[in-house]
Amino acid sequence: MRTFVAIPVPPEGPAHRFLEACQNRLKQAGGDVRWTRPEQWHITLRFIGETTDALRLRLEDTLREAAAMQEPFEVHLDGWGVFPEKGRPRVVWAGADREGWSWTEAGYCRSPLWNLADRVFYQAEQAGAPFRREWFKPHVTLARAKPPKDIGPLLNILRNEPPPPGAAFTATHVTLFQSVLSPQGSTYTPLLEATLGK
């Protein structure tokens, strides 16, 4: 099975409405893309890939440990863009805590989202997950496009219009998902939900 670790976006609230507003505005441009369904919205912390039953059990233990070390925290969604930034885009995204730093009474501190991603990345590797040399780019996928599909009008909006005002939600748990690919798109099934701070 293919798995990944993520923070799901709550199905209601300001963050959900922000993502809906982003999609609704971009849909007006048309373009040959596959829009992600609201129930799929999440921020990936670590893509695992092919996962054996034995690895899954180790990952579950490791995620419980990582989650217990992090109290619930606010995740701020704002901005939009595409991956890759150069060449033909494949992913349309809304950003999440993109700076990686937040202001507190003690001064600037690293975002809890980035700290948790680091912990999950390291502990997943310790559990036996394949090493992946990739930068953490926190985002929620709004749509996917496969070359050579033309999304020129959509890109024009992304590059020349401001996105809707951002919003936040409280992250309360991390989830190990199974991902099943099909011609109709991916299906995500939760395998484990680990509560933050417990």
From residue 136, how far is each of 47, 118, 182 by CA, in Å?
11, 9, 26
Across the chain, the runs of DSSP E, i.e. the strands, are 2-8, 34-35, 42-50, 73-83, 91-96, 101-104, 107-110, 139-144, 167-171, 173-180, 187-195
| Mean pLDDT computed over every residue of the chain | 92
pLDDT score for 58: 97
pLDDT average, residue stretch 58-65: 96
What digits encode the pLDDT tens for the residues 110-142? 889 999 999 999 999 999 999 887 889 999 999
Q: Return the bridge partners of 46, or none.
A: 5
CATH architecture observed for domain 2-195 = Alpha-Beta Complex (3.90)
pLDDT score for 85: 84
pLDDT average, residue stretch 27-50: 94
pLDDT score for 104: 59
User: If you search the block for the tokens 């680091």, which residue do you land on?
Assistant: 118
Q: What percent of the chain has pLDDT over 70?
A: 95
pLDDT average, residue stretch 180-196: 92
Taking residue 88's Cβ as centre, other Cβ atoms within 10 Å add up to: 13
